[in-house]
Amino acid sequence: MRLAVLDEHAEWTRHPRAESRAPRPAVPAERIDPWRSAVDQYLAGWAEADPIMIFAATAPGYRLDDPLVGLFTRWSLPQYFDELQVRLAASGTLAPRDLAFVLHGPMDGSSSRLGLQFWREAPRLGLTGVATIKVGERGVIAETTAYDLNLASDLLRRAPGGPA
């Protein structure tokens, strides 16, 4: 009987531990953090001023709190854009694309999905500020905005129907 390892077939000398060290396929980010795709869709919806796309990325109970325009639910998002258009009409005729907001970020230090901070701007309107977004398992839960003080935010604030 021969016991030399070198003479054994490869199947008999395979080590299971070596197999477990093999690199595993990458897990898509959506499976690790399913809320990230909702945030991406939400940001895209704002960039296109598309309330339907924004709605699709939000969770039931979603609230948008814009201190210069008002408090809105996922169902009243179209009215948010209507209200912006009415309040900023003094600056001239606005096209729907003028109401698009670009959200850059998240900013450093906002790694929790319950407090992601983005720099928010409407380039065609001159509005800039910060948005804090909260995200749950079913989508974006809430957004709270704060504007930088500039001519555009002053116009929005002083428009008829705006905060005093």
CATH number, domain of 45, equals 3.10.450.50
Q: What is the pLDDT of residue 17?
A: 52
The total number of structural domains that make up the chain: 1
Domain ranges, residue 79: 34-158
Average pLDDT over residues 74-78: 96
**How confident is the model at residue 140, as a pLDDT?**
96
Q: Evaluate whether residue 80 is within a structural domain.
A: yes
In a domain, 5, yes or no: no
pLDDT band for 159, please (50, 70, 90 cuts): low
φ, ψ for residue 3 (rounded to 5)?
Answer: -115, 10
- Whether 116 contacts 110, CB under 8 Å: yes
- Average pLDDT of span 104-120: 83
Q: Global pTM? A: 0.70
Residue 163 lies in a domain: no
Give pLDDT, residue 8: 46
Residue 97 lies in a domain: yes
Would you say the C-alpha torsion 70, 76, 119, 132 has a positive or negative sign? positive
- pLDDT computed for residue 162 by the predictor: 61
Q: Which residue has the higher pLDDT, 110 or 118?
A: 118
Q: Is residue 4 part of a domain?
A: no
**In percent, how much of the chain has pLDDT > 70?**
69
Whether pLDDT at 101 is above 60: yes
Q: What is the pLDDT of residue 22?
A: 53
Residue 25 covered by a domain: no
Confirm whether 17 is domain-assigned: no
Q: With respect to residue 74, please indicate whether it lies within any of the assigned structural domains.
A: yes
Which pLDDT belongs to residue 157? 65
- What is the band of 75 on the pLDDT scale with cuts at 50, 70, 90? very high
Query: Which residue blocks in the chain are alpha helix, DSSP H?
Result: 10-13, 16-20, 29-32, 35-47, 51-56, 77-87, 151-158
